[in-house]
Amino acid sequence: MSTDTPYRAIFCDLRTDRTIDILPLRDVSIDDYIGKPGALSGTIPIPDSAIAARVARIEEGRTSVYLERGGDLWWGGIIWTSTLQSSERGVVSLSIQAATFDSYAGRRRIREDITIPPYMEQVQAAEELWRRMQASEGGDIGVTFGPPVMTDRYRTASWRDGDETLYSEAIEFLASGEHGFEYYISVFRDPVSGARTRLLRLGSPRIHTGVTDLVLDRPGAILSYSFPRDATRGGTTARARGASANTNQAEESRPVYSPEQVAQDLITGGWPRIDLSSDHNEVAGKSVLTSLAKAELARARGAVVIPAITIRLGGVVPPTLLGRTTRLRITDEWFPEGLDARYRIVGVKVTPPERGRPDTAELYLEEV
């Protein structure tokens, strides 16, 4: 980032959130998504030995980084890798790669017997997994929890010590069923204390942020847009396969599988059969597999469409975008009568300004 950028990078101790340093960061790119970790990449210039001594305090796996814009936190996560490099001209720098705080669940494995009872709601089960993950010595990274989300959706599950199941896999299993839920970790400053906060956000079946639509226009704040349609990622039937139910080692081992789920309305309407299939080796129950197959078909009916727009950042755009509903108004050659439609933001990629490049964000959308 150049000296006139509206952003600053704050480096902290992962477990205590104690500020280590504030350092310049060039060639920055950040993204964040609902349901999967986002990423940050950037380069710290090292012009002299004094800066080198400060940069040396960054330790991969135990240092977090926040990107702040105008006093608001726009991104936060864990530095997992770095590369110290020197150019042919002797210019030294450290490139870093970080992932949002939910990536921590992908670095932790379940090493105790855990059973989710039938009376526990599925979002409470996901929160319970995070509590257990942070309860072990050295495991607390300061992720907090908001008011309980009541869904009347229940899910039984169990994991055994020794299976080495990733916590991220267990949470995704809970979230991916029919009538599942969404999650991500939001970072912001507490409005009272000003302390940095890492909050696990859960929503069933969807996360919704804000009470009013974010109105974006082209011509206007929208710089460009794309509406890709991909039938190779979609389908009109789905089946989920699970673990083998065979306990007789002398017989052929065959996986349990769900009944075929069919989008009959699409078939009747003229679509061909296009088959989706997924494997869930930790699942042995046919009813659970059926729920997973239904959920997959619901997410990928026909052709998958993930619209994206690139906007110019300004005072009208808030820092908390994931889950927010936006109203797009586009008038051009393709939409001569004007498009006026509502979408939900499910992914964000921010590119800070640098060398004359404007401050922009690419928003990934789904129809409301």
Same domain (yes/no): 213, 360: yes
Domain-located, residue 197: yes
Same domain (yes/no): 74, 190: no
Same domain (yes/no): 56, 118: no
The CA distance from 101 to 167, in Å, is: 13
Domain-located, residue 1: no
The CA distance from 308 to 305, in Å, is: 10
Domain-located, residue 251: no
Q: Between helices 122-135 and 167-175, what is the axis angle to 10°?
A: 170
pLDDT-derived band at 271, boundaries 50, 70, 90: very high
Same domain (yes/no): 358, 215: yes
Question: What is the CATH number for 179?
Answer: 3.55.50
Same domain (yes/no): 182, 96: no
**121, 153 contact by CB (below 8 A):** yes
Q: How would DSSP label each residue in 202-236?
A: EESS---EEEEEEEEEETTTEEEEE--EETTS-BS
Task: Report how many domains make up the chain.
Answer: 4
Q: Which residue has the higher pLDDT, 71 or 182?
A: 182
Q: Tell me the per-residue pLDDT of 148-159, one tens digit each, with 9 for 90 and over.
A: 888 888 888 899
**What pLDDT, on the 0 to 100 scale, is given for residue 144?**
97
Domain hosting residue 63, numbered range: 7-103
Q: Is 137 left (phi over 0), alpha (psi -120 to 50) or beta?
A: beta
Whether the pLDDT of residue 245 is over 80: the answer is: no
Mean residue pLDDT of the chain comes to 92
Same domain (yes/no): 58, 198: no
Domain-located, residue 61: yes
Same domain (yes/no): 224, 334: yes
Q: Which residues pair with 170 in a beta bridge?
A: none
**What pLDDT, on the 0 to 100 scale, is given for residue 148?**
81
Q: Tell me the per-residue pLDDT of 197-211, one tens digit each, with 9 for 90 and over.
A: 999 999 999 999 988
Share of the chain above pLDDT 70, in %: 96
Query: Collapsing DSSP states into helix, strand and coil, what is residue 151?
Result: coil
Domain-located, residue 76: yes
49-86-353-331 Cα dihedral, nearest 10 degrees:
-170
The CA distance from 230 to 235, in Å, is: 10
Q: Which residue has the higher pLDDT, 258 or 249?
A: 258
Same domain (yes/no): 180, 112: yes
What predicted TM-score, i.e. pTM, was given to this entire model?
0.89
Q: Which two tokens stand for residue 246?
A: 């065979």
Calculate mean pLDDT across residues 10-23: 98
Domain-located, residue 2: no
Radius of gyration, CA atoms only, the chain: 23
Question: What is the CATH number for 312?
Answer: 2.30.300.10
Among 70, 103, 136, the domain boundary falls at 103
Calculate mean pLDDT across residues 350-357: 80
Among 61, 82, 103, the domain boundary falls at 103
**What pLDDT, on the 0 to 100 scale, is given for residue 253?**
74
Same domain (yes/no): 171, 265: no
Same domain (yes/no): 115, 190: yes
**What pLDDT, on the 0 to 100 scale, is given for residue 3?**
43
Same domain (yes/no): 12, 142: no
Domain-located, residue 148: yes
**What pLDDT, on the 0 to 100 scale, is given for residue 246?**
64
Q: Tell me the per-residue pLDDT of 160-216, one tens digit each, with 9 for 90 and over.
A: 999 999 999 999 999 988 889 999 999 999 999 999 999 999 999 999 998 899 999
Q: Tell me the per-residue pLDDT of 75-88, one tens digit each, with 9 for 90 and over.
A: 999 999 999 999 99
Q: Which residue has the higher pLDDT, 357 or 116?
A: 116
If we measure between CA atoms, which residue out of 148, 156, 166 comes closest to residue 203? 148
The b-or-e profile of 254-283 (16+ CB within 10 A means b, else e) is: ebbbbeebebeebeeeebeebebebebebb
**287, 259 contact by CB (below 8 A):** no
Domain-located, residue 31: yes
Same domain (yes/no): 69, 96: yes
Q: Please report which residue ranges of 190-285 form alpha helices under DSSP H.
A: 264-268
pLDDT-derived band at 281, boundaries 50, 70, 90: confident
Q: Tell me the per-residue pLDDT of 121-135, one tens digit each, with 9 for 90 and over.
A: 999 999 999 999 999
